[in-house]
Structure 1
Amino acid sequence: MIMSHMNGYVQEASGQAISHRERAVDCPGDDSGLIKSPHCSAHMERIQHYQEELKKRREEDSRGKHDIDPNASLRLKKLAQNPKVGIDNPTFEGKEKATKDTFSQDPVADMVELLQALKWAKHCLADAQSQEDVELIMQLLAKEDFKNAYTIYSAVSEQMTRVIPTSPLTSQAEDLCQEVQKILQSSQHKEGLELKVLLTKPHLQAHDSVAGQEMEEDNLTQYIGETVKLVRLEKARDTPLGATVRNDMDSVLVSRVVKGGAAEKSGLLSEGDEILEINGVSIRGKHVNEVHDLLQQMQGTLTFLLIPSSQIKPAPHRQTVMHVRAYFDYDPSDDPFVPCRELGLSFQKGDILHVISQDDPNWWQAYRDGDEDNQPLAGLIPGKSFQQQRETLKKTITDRSREHQGRLWYAKKSKRQKKKSPSTLSRDFDYDDILTYEEMSLYHQPANRKRPIGLIGPTNSGHDELRRRLLSIEPEKFAVAVPHTTRNSRIHERNGREYHFVSRPAFDTDLAAGKFIESGEYEKNFYGTSTDSVRHVINSGRICLLCLHTRSLQVFRSSNLKPYVIFIAPPSQERLRTLLAAEGKTPKPEELKEVIEKAREMEHNFGHFFDATIVNMDPEQAFHELRRLIDKLDTEPQWVPTSWLC
């Protein structure tokens, strides 16, 4: 089942229609020519043309509505038999008067007539089942609840048919005002003088300004029976339009309004709006690629003729920016599912992304940290749930493939094994196990509570040497956590200074309670570093330094210690050989290769835990870089998981 879903996704993504299912109409870097916008009068002429067509259509519909068969209604049949107001009156006024005089506004009278018609129909029917159906309808109509509901429906329908003006009646109120003032100059009546004072106030001038703009430019009108609107946007090279379009049959719809563009800043374009014309060029029937090429050539004022979206828009709310750290690499050019490749935002594992819109749960809009000034438009990145879903599909498909290979292996192993089903290798994945994004917040460490520094790296990468050098140079600033052990103390050792000496049962109790960041066994004795020991160093005002194993990272990061983890990566194999030779070590080629491969494995599996990476090309440079990173914690706020600050 999952295989079929994934195949469907791939087929959809590979089709030509899908490859451009959504197209950015104006992106940074597009080569734009200059096409001057036509004058506003041209648009008004087209709107008047549309209004004339609509008027003709309404007249035709009106004539059709009055061509009524008198035998189609009991009332009209009775009206036709009335010599006083005949339905055959040739004049339109007569028909209209007959309709008004005959059709009652009383819902009770309508109900009585309907019941009489049903009785007559029942009498004419010979089929027993049909007679029973009519009887059921008559019983329903006779119920008091139904009558009350019909009365309410009639009252609401009458209210909805009342015409309420939605636009100004004129844009020349000021001219009419001056004309009336001339007439009132010689008037001595009290009412005339009061009217003259009222007409001297500036409200009518303001009315003309607003009415003129609404009636001449952005007035809602009709386009072959559809409500349309005119929208003007200014397209500049430094501010892209910021919208994508898609095809829906012959229509071209606004598919997405991108944050940071002129469309989003103006608030005049909405998702779902149908584009009829752009600067007088008809858009209906065009492919999104044609619309893209057309807008690429245009510059300056763009005038859109639109049919507003019929979708119910949610109440506007302030968008909250969410800051996340990415835990996977993303390249939109390799993603067949991205709706608009031009707007896809590439990023690498560890990048901080500022998510400014999650309106589309599948495709968020975001900026990379530090690129806001150079990135005028927000980019599209996969939403968290969408990314988790497709990673789950990939893992399930991989496991199904392995299971299939396992079955083939069992079949070749023996015929007897063929009858038995091998144990399945697949499992149900928890979405939380799939790393996508983690919400982050800025944190500035207090002067008296330094963040512990965790150094991690493969053997011979130099992380332990860097820790020892920091401790020897500035012992008043750096310290290590005193570990716990179950072995007996030696003569020169003091409890709490070199080690915390504890019994085996006490150690096991603390281990079960999760009090150790890391622990292990050496020569039948147990050793461990507790969170309390690290916290003791922090409370003293010093920086706690730890060299960690990868299996300790999860516990260390899940504590409330707010650690800063630095990965010390080895250099190339030849450079590593030179550095180790300077220390008097002569590793074998396979040992050097193992160090490099171990470092890659650590970075691949645990890189999302690293706050910084230092490639140890030169011990002196690596030491200064380590000091710089540690000192930066005092001067600059750092991104930490939001959960740490809750």
Structure 2
Amino acid sequence: MITGHMNGYVQEAKPGVRERAVDCPGEEEGADHQSAPNLVKSPQCPAHTERVKHYQEELRRRREEEAASRGGKHEIDPNASLRLKKLSQNQKVGIDNPTFENKEKISRESVPDYVTDVSEFIESLRWAERCLSDPQSLQDTEQLLQFLSSEEFHSAYSIYSVVSQQLSHVSPTSPITTQAQDLCLEVQRILQSSQQKEGLELRTLLTNPHLQALMQAHDHVAEQELPEGQVLTQYLGESVKLVRLEKTRDTPLGATVRNDVDSVVVSRVVKGGVAERSGLLSEGDEILEINGIPIRGKHVNEVHDMLQQMQGTLTFLLIPSSQIKAAPHRHTVMHVKAYFDYDPSDDPFVPCRELGLSFQKGDILHVISQDDPNWWQAYRDGDEDNQPLAGLVPGTKEAKMALIQHAHCDSTGKHWYGKKSKKQKKKSLTSTNKNDGDEILTYEEMSLYHQPANRKRPIALIGPTNSGHDELRRRLLSIEPEKYAVAVPHTTRNPRIHERNGREYHFVNRTAFEADLAMGKFVESGEYEKNLYGTSTDSVRHVVNSGKICLLCLHSRSLKVLRTSNLKPYVIYIAPPSQERLRTLLAAEGKTPKPEELKEVLDKAREMEQSFGHLFDASLVNMDQEQSFHELRRLIDRLDTEPQWVPTSWLC
């Protein structure tokens, strides 16, 4: 078997592709267009009755060979037909049974239940007869006892009991077959040479015009009851189904297959494909034929190549899956933000590389299926129209494995993780790295949020020194002071002559400041010339409650504290341009930085983006102050008109 999972981890000597998608959009984009007309059209699908007749002829031929090997003796072989085999398992009762008067000679363990029921009824009737004195009642009771003891009643009641027992074990929710007429003909052929009493009686019954009309009506109704495109029948003792699907370039099938010894089995039904929309293919179905071409024994790559060349109507001959399908892990779409980069081409454990969905840290993924807890099916936000089939992304278990293996960085130096504060555990999907005890966030569940008109989200501008984020904040405050404001900071220094408490600063003593700091009331804090400074969440909340937009220039380390509050910040990363462009911008401001200082700014920016990029809601490169200013205003104004993705925990 090509694939295998145990406890969420892949058990395989060599990692590699274990499933093969039967068709993937865009696989042939690089092919020579001149070869397109040579695509093999699907052969015309024969009627399913012709296919069934073919298998029936094969059955008849095998039975004749078996009969010849027995010396030409033609006896009814109950194992020749699945239904006859089932019926033969029930003992023939009624005709040769002893009379009920002698039932005391037979142990109750060897008497069928229905015989016991009737005998108990006869005993009760005889007991009642002894209590009767009315001649008419005695005569009626005697006639009833004679009827119950007659051979005809025994036979009729035996048949009734056997049929009732069969029906009690079989209660199909849909027709078992649409080929009842063909099955009758098959049994008649088996009985042609039989001279046994039961065989002659059954053949007479099956050739009765009323029964044949009943079988015809049954098949007509069954064809309407079965799902469109699906027909169930019998093939060498196996229940099989014929499924027809329409395949075009624009409507991929959306299924993967795997090898199980010599069999080719449907391994996964992908959301968005024809197979998923039709509901006719199921995981675990074994593919016997496709348009009359035998599939058993073929490698999944051969099946892939064959289906790549087929268009139009495809007819699958399948053995339905016998496994009980588990309930879906989650019925609704879950929206998550990815906190690591993922490239399926670099992942040796992805079950089907063609369906792997690449994404970057910060991307929003719409997870539409978690039926496989190890590999979710998802769309990347914004790509739904261009992505006909859902892609495979690692579930939390698989993501945890990747993150642990790439504990801090992969071979390219890209970080695969973002650490998470303890207050953010709710409504997030995490895995733990036991080496350092920190919580590693793989995905975080997100929801759309539209800010109220009277309660604007605070804007946090993040960037290294000399990136220009502080200059952008000052310009916004000077141009639109009625719209923007800053939070009044706290300090332990003494106020100057022109300063007023609550306007320039909140002046507090050191003891009160340190107590608030210990309680986590400050978004950020620091010490300068033996005085403490900090911006409290209450100060930010005061600006938000006033209806203005609070502008913050914060160190990236302060983001975690800000996000754990109920302030719902919108974080914009201001990235510096190239080293030469940064030198020009700083020179325009009268600054002459040294080359090592410029390099330090760029290194700090890269470090900040790698460590905290998953917390950024938007980014812009400060190539030009004027252009960056207009782009910044556009991003802020968009919050009034467009809903934004925020952690679901913020809305609880």
| Alignment-derived partner of residue 348 in structure 1 | 360
Residue in structure 2 matched with residue 612 of structure 1 by the alignment: 618
Which deviations, in whole Å up to 9, do the C-alpha atoms of 1:423-468 show, x marking residues without a partner?
A: xxx9824797223211111111000000000011111000111111
Change (3 A) 1:99 1:606: farther
Q: 1:221 corresponds to which residue? A: 233
Deviates more, 1:595-604 or 1:293-302: 293-302
Q: Whole-Å Cα distance in 1 between the matches of residues 236 and 181 of structure 2?
A: 25
Q: In structure 1, what is the Cα distance between the partners aligned to 2:613 and 2:492?
A: 33
* Correspondence for 1:238: 250
Structure-2 residue corresponding to 1:37? 44
Instruction: Determine which of 538, 541, 544 is the counterpart of 2:544.
Output: 538
Partner of residue 109, structure 2: 108
Amino acid aligned to 1:26: D
Residue of structure 2 in register with 1:180 after alignment = none
| CA distance 1:391–1:107, shift in 2 (3 Å) | farther
Q: Deviations over 1:503-553 (max 9, x none)?
A: 111111111111111111111111111111001001111000010012211
Matched residues in 1 for 2:381 and 2:10: separation? Answer: 31
> How far did residue 639 of structure 1 move?
0.6
Q: Which of 348, 351, 368 is residue 380 of structure 2 equivalent to?
A: 368
Structure 2 match to 1:585: 591
Residues matched between the structures, number: 510
> Percent sequence identity over matched residues?
71
Q: CA 1:107–1:502 in structure 2 vs 1: closer, same or farther (change >3 Å)?
A: farther
Residue 392 of structure 1 aligns to a residue whose secondary structure is helix
Task: Give the AA of the match of 1:589.
Answer: P
Structure 2 counterpart of 1:130: none
Q: What CA deviation, in whole Å up to 9, does each residue of 1:166-196 have, x standing for no partner?
A: 5568679xxxxxxxxxxxxxxxxxxxxxxxx
Q: Distance in 2 between matches of 1:588 and 1:450?
A: 40
**How far off its partner does 1:301 sit?**
0.8
> How far did residue 561 of structure 1 move?
0.1
1:334 to 2:335 alignment: no
Contact 1:217 1:230 in 2 (8 A): yes
- 3-state DSSP class of the match of 1:395? coil
Q: CA deviation at 1:580?
A: 0.7
The residue type equivalent to 2:232 in the other structure is L
Q: Is residue 300 from structure 1 mapped to residue 312 from structure 2 by the alignment? A: yes
Cα deviations by residue, 1:256-287 (Å, 9 ceiling, x for unpaired):
00000000000000000000011000000000
What is aligned with 1:381? Answer: 393
State the Cα distance separating 1:206 from its structure 2 match. Answer: 8.9
Q: CA RMSD in A?
A: 3.8
From 598, 602, 606, give the equivalent of 1:596: 602
**Which amino acid letter does the alignment assign opposite residue 211 of structure 1?**
A
| Letter in structure 2 aligned against 1:43 | R
Q: Could you say which residue in structure 2 is the equivalent of 1:211?
A: 222
Work out whether residues 54 and 224 of structure 1, in 8 Å CA contact, stay in contact via their aligned partners in 2.
no
Q: Distance in 2 between matches of 1:105 and 1:285?
A: 55
Give deviations 1:219-269, integer Å, cap 9, x for gaps.
432222221111111112211000000000000000000000000000000
Is the 1:53–1:224 Cα contact (8 Å) retained in structure 2?
no
Counterpart of 2:288 in structure 1 is 276
The superposition leaves residues 61-97 of structure 1 with CA deviations (integer Å, 9 ceiling, x where unpaired) of 997899xxxxxxxxxxxxxxxxxxxxxxxxx9xx979
State how far apart, in whole Å, the 2-side matches of 1:431 and 1:312 are. 40
Which SS does the other structure have where 2:323 is aligned?
A: coil
The answer as to whether partners of 1:170 and 1:211 remain within 8 angstroms in 2 is: no
TM-superposed CA distance for 1:101, in Å, is: 5.2
In the other structure, the counterpart of 2:334 is 322
**TM-score of the superposition, structure 1-length normalised?**
0.72
Aligned ranges for residues 72-221 of structure 1 at < 5 Å? 108-109=109-110, 159=165, 166-167=176-177, 209-212=220-223, 218-221=230-233
Distance 1:449 1:204, change over 3 A: farther
CA contact (8 A) 2:377 2:392 kept: yes
Partner of residue 498 from structure 1, selected from 490, 504, 507: 504
1:50–1:223 contact (8 Å) kept in structure 2: no
CA change 1:168–1:347 in 2 (3 A) is closer
In 1, are the aligned partners of 2:55 and 2:236 still within 8 Å (CA)?
no
What SS does the corresponding residue of 1:364 show, helix, strand or coil?
A: strand
Contact 1:463 1:568 in 2 (8 A): yes
Q: Would the aligned equivalents of 1:279 and 1:304 in 2 still touch at CA under 8 Å?
A: yes
Deviation of residue 50 (structure 1)?
A: 5.3
Separation (CA, whole Å) in 2 of partners of 1:98 and 1:624: 95
Corresponding residue to 2:475 among 454, 469, 474: 469
Unaligned stretches of 5+ in structure 1?
67-91, 112-154, 173-202, 399-425
Q: Shift of the alpha carbon at 1:347?
A: 1.1
1:339-488 → structure 2 map (5 Å cutoff) = 339-395=351-407, 428-429=434-435, 433-488=439-494
User: What does the per-residue CA deviation read over 1:13-68, in whole Å, with 9 as the maximum and x for residues that have no partner?
Assistant: 45xxxx342100011134553122332143232342355478779999997899xx
Return the alpha-carbon distance in structure 1 between the equivalents of residues 265 and 403 of structure 2: 31
| Secondary structure, counterpart of 1:372 in structure 2 | coil
* Residues 1:622 and 2:608 are matched in the alignment: no
The CA distance in 1 between the partners of 2:499 and 2:55, in whole Å, is: 95
Say if 2:455 and 2:545, in contact at 8 Å, map to a contact too: yes
Query: Is contact 1:171–1:212 with CA below 8 Å preserved after alignment?
Result: no
Distance 1:609 1:593 in 2: 24
> Which of 248, 256, 275 in structure 1 is aligned with 2:268?
256
Quote the residue 1:565 is aligned against. 571
The equivalent of 2:521 in structure 1 is 515
- Paired AA for residue 566 in structure 1: I
Using the alignment, how far apart are the partners of 2:368 and 2:348 within structure 1? 23
- Given residue 480 of structure 1, which amino acid in structure 2 is its aligned partner? V
**Residues 58 and 288 (structure 1 numbering): CA distance in 2 closer, same or farther, change over 3 Å?**
same
Work out the CA distance in 2 between the residues paired with 1:27 and 1:397: 31
- In the superposition, relative to structure 1, how do residues 351 and 13 fare at CA in structure 2: closer, same or farther (>3 Å)? farther
* Residue pair 2:526, 2:532 contacting (<8 A) in 1 also: yes
Q: Relative to structure 1, is the Cα distance of residues 532 and 105 closer, same or farther in structure 2, using a 3 angstrom cutoff? A: farther
Aligned letter for 2:56?
Q
How far, CA to CA, are the matches of 2:350 and 2:593 in structure 1? 48
User: What CA distance in whole angstroms lies between the structure 2 residues aligned with 1:632 and 1:642?
Assistant: 20
Distance 2:168 2:58 in 1: 24
TM-score where L is the length of structure 2 = 0.71
- Determine whether 1:48 maps to 2:56: yes
